[in-house]
Amino acid sequence: MESVDPLEKNIAEWLKRQGYILEVRAARAFLRAHPLQEHWGHSETVEQGVHYLDPQESKLREIDVVASWWNPVKRSHPSITRTNGDAWLGLTVVIECKRSQVPWILLAAERHKFHKIPQWLDPLSKAYIADFRIYSGYWAGTPLGDSGVPVAHSIVPRVEKNPDRNAPFDAVRQVISATTSLLEQGGPGEIDQPWIDLFVPVLVTDAPLFVCRLDNEGDIVVKSVEYGVYLDAENGRTRHQDIPVYVVNIAYIDQFAQMCHNSAELLWGQPSGQGDELSEE
């Protein structure tokens, strides 16, 4: 039997307590997600350890995984309103991974309606030119636009000690910081055609996830979930434009990666209903 170097074993055990395993599992899940149709001329990338400039502190930081789908569409494509040329449509998923030894609890929001699509996309979209618009009905018909997903106004860890430290909220702030920085860069590289990029911030964790709400009788109802959405009001462009952060348990990461892929496909396909238009102001 081959002997194990004690130092190698020590390093492996240390890595198990960090977020590295979650990062690799998340990256592999998005790499496994089936690519778009080749004849669409799309591009798809999955990167690990992407650096960005923290917009608050002007420091160089690192986000765990960034996955992007890009697809060129003709000016006659029914999702866009431009009439003077072709365009590129992009979906970029920004992922931060966090380990936790305690459950995370999503406190359900009462007033927010997830199907109000313009509120969700506008803070997380960037367009190459101002008059390029996309119909929100395309997003409403995607898995990521599902109005049935649990929506929370707060996220807290289930802890007894050191209750002042809210690790999941700190992680949310980090992924939003990375998303904001990458959004400012935006775009599918050096191209002359117009484009619009939709960003999806995601927090991946091995913490068991629960959503908590009050029923009509005022009793607390707690339910285990595979993923949910936390609404961040602080970083939205206005108080009416909260930023949604998807919080996903690592056991569900393969399904979530496929949801992102399917959403990209449907976004460039026929909508279930056109609804309102979105534009970059």
Tokens 């909508």 belong to residue: 271
d(CA 90, CA 72): 9
- In-domain check, residue 1: no
d(CA 108, CA 119): 18
Read out DSSP for 190-224? S-SS-EEEEEEEEEEESS-EEEEEE-TTS-EEEEE
- In-domain check, residue 143: yes
Give the total number of structural domains in the chain: 1
Reading the chain (281 residues) residue by residue, the pLDDT tens digits are 566 788 888 888 888 777 889 999 999 999 988 665 444 456 678 999 999 988 778 889 999 999 988 877 665 555 554 444 566 778 889 999 999 989 999 998 775 544 443 344 555 666 554 444 555 555 666 778 766 788 888 899 987 666 667 889 999 999 999 988 888 876 666 666 677 778 889 999 999 999 998 888 889 999 999 999 988 866 544 444 578 899 999 999 999 999 998 888 777 664 433 434 433 33
Residue 35 belongs to domain spanning: 6-279
Structure pTM? 0.82
- In-domain check, residue 238: yes
Which residue, 155, 151, 178, 154, is CA-closest to 168?
Answer: 155
d(CA 227, CA 254): 12
Tokens 């609890």 belong to residue: 105
- In-domain check, residue 86: yes
- In-domain check, residue 87: yes
Q: Which two tokens stand for residue 257?
A: 């990666």
Amino acid in the structure at residue 209? L
For residue 190, how far is the Cα from the chain centroid?
A: 24
- In-domain check, residue 197: yes
DSSP letter (8 states) at residue 111: S
Tokens 């765990």 belong to residue: 64
d(CA 75, CA 77): 5
- In-domain check, residue 14: yes
d(CA 106, CA 99): 17
Backbone angles phi, psi at 222, to 5 degrees: -115, 130
- In-domain check, residue 102: yes
DSSP letter (8 states) at residue 157: E
